[in-house]
Structure 1
């Protein structure tokens, strides 16, 4: 009886041990695969990866640390596993939710590869990191070892105000960098950017685009080969040949910055700003689209292809709203409308437009100070000048001198009236003097209160001298032999020139004087009292316009009249200081 009881107890012990083993096996199986119909949340780690590689982002000096954590299963409606055929694969179906560190992944179905710690996700794929980064697509392959996600078909990445659309996106979690290679679109509140290849970093807000890059803004379109763009600062960094086109102008640059928010550009490497037939080039440019002005620095050139003129120098300012500009630092205005270019230099050259967008539009071109100009047939110097397009008149102020071949004209003020950029006639006002050099001793000289010189095809043909006329003139034979010396005075004189030489003179009204034989000319009659020959200040070529040479001491003209506007000093005092009596 005792033996039988002992035997029964042993059998009961074996029975409970077998039940325990079966329960333990069941628990392990449940841990591997959640039964159909269960919605209980759990975290099931995939197996630790056997190997993996790190991807180094461009320009990154320090690689971020890869902790090599596991991909966890948080939820699935169904789970399947075939330990014999594919022992390292879990098949998940329905409302799948996974987690890797701070990244959550959602999809309709998925495969978890335990050995490689990777995931394939299918249909309605969504990745979420915090509340700022969301990625959508139709397919996902995620490598938990390298932390690189490959999202395909209908991909959308959303980072706060920025949206990236493409069909093929790789997202590197280590470097927080997404990049596409088969065409994509990046959008924010201001701009839409498209390219063949691009990358975007949600952390730095910096994006890079290559090949057929296009940035579309409501006010302009930027096309480029290579471009950087920051979605926070809205600054586009130009890294290759680029064109920025708007309704008002066109910018070409190969290197620089364009702030799409403030609409200011800083452009380098001989960038070009083109507007309404005007082209501004410089080693560097600054442009403000809102205010409508541009600045060019060093080796600048502003070309007007419509009027065929040009400004050069080392600094230029241009206002496209008022159509005005000025240039300094070796500034030169060049007119090439007549083939033979006219070069003019001054400390400052300025262009001002009036009555824009009307039928009465006209422009003033001003040059000051120490103005020098050169063309093969005409040269001139003065302190300042103004050209008015309304009457095509160029006025030279303060000791002006004008040369045409062997003729020198000077006075207190010279007005030159143009016809299609060629001289039509010139008006010399007060202390007028014209001198023609025959040789180093003999000069034809005419002085008067004022002169009017008329030109044909750029050559002086007729001079009218008015008021207090005095002459010292050498008549010639046809073979250019001087026959005598004519010293006369009168009120009005007409001089006629042929082949750029004085041919004859004719007084109108009463005149008196003496004709001396060549060997009986009194020494004191050889020169008029106002005679001056300023050949030493004459520009010799287009490079000589930069070399200012003033008149010698005592040879400058003293104005006969005060041309400054008169002001009643008492009225000025009462206006500015009403308390003064």
Structure 2
């Protein structure tokens, strides 16, 4: 019976193996038929083009890195368990667990491997290692081998060479090589510490992005922002939202630009502002080097000194905070608003230089050149160049200077104006001095001399002292302002008294002579002094008119008896060469 039973068993085994082989062959053929069909559908969909080719290109999704769907391998565990009945696709691992997915190694105290989803849950002392450059730590990990996304929670630390990221919630996408947090985090390198509510970091590009309550702390400054990009290799912060950079010496505000935290150089746009010890510089764009205290502003520049209550404007401005010097050009204007009524001064170039810094004898020199024009409601002036020295509060006007105060015109080869709390105290007109007051288009009060000293009170000219070679052509008035005659005279010294911005009386001192003519008997050759000139056509009309240069008519300029332009130090010329 035993021999009879063996043959049927062999035949049954042979039939069973034939059946299994046939089923396997059938399965292979079925897969071979289905796979090309699926690929064919994919090809058909990708080949279908919308009517608008540009729209199709714009809507084209970002190319995702190739996802090689490899298995998560178990390399080691002290213990392993599996319940094929209740959880047939789950492995329970305990003790010194070590896993691998492609080039990423994972370590933990215990783990669950889900075979169907190719995913892992890891618990306690979680560590992920990729090569010798990327290490991630945490208390918990969920890793999806299909999407290659790791979700780490609690006490998470990502280390990439010199960069460390700390957070309690980190998602790391291996395909894009980006880790991002969303419940607050800190990123640190050798130079800076950055914190924010939301952030991401790429170990490959070293680029990081931060949003909401961003704070970058550097030993020399603190940067706060709403949106910021930062590269841990170049140490450059890319400002993308309202940001403030504060140090011991200055404050920068910008909404767009770059700041190199290593070299401390900044390139800023969108009306950025640089503030330093009461001085504020604003421009459409700014360049700033903190180490050498050098700043440049371009287009619609405004530089404000809140301490001295003045400002500088133009389309280009340079400022050195270490030497407290500034330079402006291209529609440059200096504005003094310390007295309420602002003084506007324009020149092709404006320059401010400070001397004896950090001493009790600190003083500043401001230079304006060329085609200088200034305007204030009570005083206007023009000249070729101008120098103001704060040491003696003196402003000197060079080369055909003219000064107007209401109806009074003062001119000479050189005019020195001495200030008192930003108001005119007195003015010194040197060589070919002339003062003219217009009565009407025909009659003018005129006084000329070698030099004049004009004294002001509350911004109004009250008294003029004329010294040397005095000539007068003057119309005395009755109380009703009616002219009673014409006084022509000469002498060596004269005092003129002005009331209500009009010549009230004139007095020749010492040896003099003069003649009083009735109004209908004035000699024609006496109506005008030899040096008479009325330059109303060059006078600035308002603060906007200071940009419109109008020179004197040909032949009406003074002929200087002495070269009184600022002297140039020959040593400076040698240095410049």
Q: Does the alignment reach a TM-score above 0.5?
A: yes
CA distance in structure 1 between the partners assigned to 2:516 and 2:352 by the alignment? 51
Residue 433 to residue 566, structure 1, CA distance change in 2 (3 Å)? closer
Q: Determine helix, strand or coil for the equivalent of 1:552.
A: coil
What do the CA deviations read for 1:34-57 (whole angstroms, capped 9, x no partner)?
A: xxxxxxxxxxxxxxxxxxxxxxxx
- Equivalent residue number for residue 425 of structure 1: 426
CA distance in structure 2 between the partners assigned to 1:360 and 1:565 by the alignment? 23
- Equivalent residue number for residue 286 of structure 1: 287
CA distance in structure 1 between the partners assigned to 2:154 and 2:168 by the alignment? 4
CA distance in structure 2 between the partners assigned to 1:303 and 1:362 by the alignment? 18
Q: Determine helix, strand or coil for the equivalent of 2:532.
A: coil
- Equivalent residue number for residue 269 of structure 1: 270
- Equivalent residue number for residue 310 of structure 1: 311
What do the CA deviations read for 1:481-524 (whole angstroms, capped 9, x no partner)?
A: 11111111111100000100001111111001211111111101
Q: Determine helix, strand or coil for the equivalent of 1:519.
A: helix
| 1:538 is the counterpart of 2:521 | no
CA distance in structure 1 between the partners assigned to 2:61 and 2:319 by the alignment? 41
Displacement after TM superposition at 1:280 (Å): 0.6
What do the CA deviations read for 1:173-219 (whole angstroms, capped 9, x no partner)?
A: 01000000111100001100000110000011110001110000111
Counting only pairs closer than 5 Å after superposition, residues 362-373 of structure 1 correspond to structure 2 as 362-373=363-374
Q: Which moved more, 1:443-452 or 1:331-340?
A: 331-340
CA distance in structure 2 between the partners assigned to 1:60 and 1:102 by the alignment? 27
Q: How many residues align?
A: 524
Counting only pairs closer than 5 Å after superposition, residues 275-424 of structure 1 correspond to structure 2 as 275-424=276-425
- Equivalent residue number for residue 118 of structure 1: 119
- Equivalent residue number for residue 508 of structure 1: 509
| 1:104 is the counterpart of 2:111 | no
Counting only pairs closer than 5 Å after superposition, residues 28-67 of structure 1 correspond to structure 2 as 61-67=62-68
What do the CA deviations read for 1:40-90 (whole angstroms, capped 9, x no partner)?
A: xxxxxxxxxxxxxxxxxxx98321111111100111111111111110000
- Equivalent residue number for residue 199 of structure 2: 198
CA distance in structure 1 between the partners assigned to 2:380 and 2:132 by the alignment? 74
CA distance in structure 1 between the partners assigned to 2:514 and 2:145 by the alignment? 113
CA distance in structure 1 between the partners assigned to 2:418 and 2:297 by the alignment? 32
Displacement after TM superposition at 1:562 (Å): 3.0
CA distance in structure 2 between the partners assigned to 1:439 and 1:284 by the alignment? 51
CA distance in structure 2 between the partners assigned to 1:120 and 1:541 by the alignment? 78
CA distance in structure 1 between the partners assigned to 2:336 and 2:569 by the alignment? 42
Gaps of 5+ in 2: 14-59
Residue 204 to residue 568, structure 1, CA distance change in 2 (3 Å)? closer
Displacement after TM superposition at 1:261 (Å): 1.0
Gaps of 5+ in 1: 18-58, 577-581
Q: Determine helix, strand or coil for the equivalent of 1:557.
A: coil
- Equivalent residue number for residue 518 of structure 2: 517
- Equivalent residue number for residue 33 of structure 1: none
What do the CA deviations read for 1:412-436 (whole angstroms, capped 9, x no partner)?
A: 1101111111111000011100000
- Equivalent residue number for residue 169 of structure 1: 170
CA distance in structure 1 between the partners assigned to 2:213 and 2:61 by the alignment? 26
Where has structure 1 moved over 6 Å in runs of 4 or more?
Answer: 564-569
Residue 563 to residue 339, structure 1, CA distance change in 2 (3 Å)? closer
Note if contact 2:538-2:551 (Cα within 8 Å) is conserved in structure 1. yes
What do the CA deviations read for 1:99-121 (whole angstroms, capped 9, x no partner)?
A: 00110101111100001100011
Displacement after TM superposition at 1:10 (Å): 6.3
Residue 196 to residue 565, structure 1, CA distance change in 2 (3 Å)? closer
TM-score (norm 2): 0.88
- Equivalent residue number for residue 438 of structure 2: 437
What do the CA deviations read for 1:249-296 (whole angstroms, capped 9, x no partner)?
A: 000111111011111111111111111111111111111101111111
CA distance in structure 1 between the partners assigned to 2:369 and 2:62 by the alignment? 55
- Equivalent residue number for residue 231 of structure 1: 232
Displacement after TM superposition at 1:568 (Å): 14
Q: Determine helix, strand or coil for the equivalent of 2:331.
A: coil
Counting only pairs closer than 5 Å after superposition, residues 18-37 of structure 1 correspond to structure 2 as none
CA distance in structure 2 between the partners assigned to 1:458 and 1:565 by the alignment? 27
